[in-house]
Amino acid sequence: MTKQPDMPNLDLIRAVQQARMAHDAETIPSQVSNVYWVEFKRAVDGPAPTSRAGRWVIETQLAEVDALWEQIKVATADGRLGYKSKVATISRTADSKARAIYVLTVDADDPADVGRVRAALLSLGIPAAVLHYERINESGS
């Protein structure tokens, strides 16, 4: 007789996710080095991400990342941005001071939503020159 695989403990998974989100909500990105990313989810209802999700990438520097992340967290929480935002706690490039913030959108094929999030980012004072958009999920990322 073949043994059935153990079912994942969804309550445990949910508890770990909630603990991580509570930790991330209070984290200052420039002062973290034990995780690669800190993330924050919206606190209001909204559409779920599709398999065609995308993200706005904001290139910034270590000296500006904390203040910018605070703005992004507030705008994410109240639903002005995408369904989730993430900030790199370490550099993704050879420039050790470079940081990236991702603002995830529900559907890269929805130009109205992608444009809405871009406009919200610009209204926060983020220069268009540091923004670029990319699809995710198609490659499994």
Is 50 exceeded by the pLDDT of residue 140? no
Structure tokens, 71: 């703005």
Distance CA 25, CA 22 (A): 5
State which H helix or E strand residue 54 sits in: strand 54-61
Letter for the amino acid at 123?
A: S
Query: Could you tell me if 35 and 89 are in contact, meaning their C-beta atoms sit under 8 angstroms apart?
Result: yes
30-135 folds as RNA Cap, Translation Initiation Factor Eif4e (3.30.760)
Query: Residue 1: which pLDDT band, with cuts at 50, 70 and 90?
Result: low
Ranking 8-22, 37-51, 110-124 by mean pLDDT, the lowest is 8-22
Summarised one tens digit per residue, pLDDT across range 100-114 is 999 999 999 999 999
Is 60 exceeded by the pLDDT of residue 5? yes
125: alpha, beta or left, given left = phi > 0 and alpha = psi -120 to 50? left
Summarised one tens digit per residue, pLDDT across range 63-85 is 999 999 999 999 999 999 999 99
Letter for the amino acid at 93?
A: T
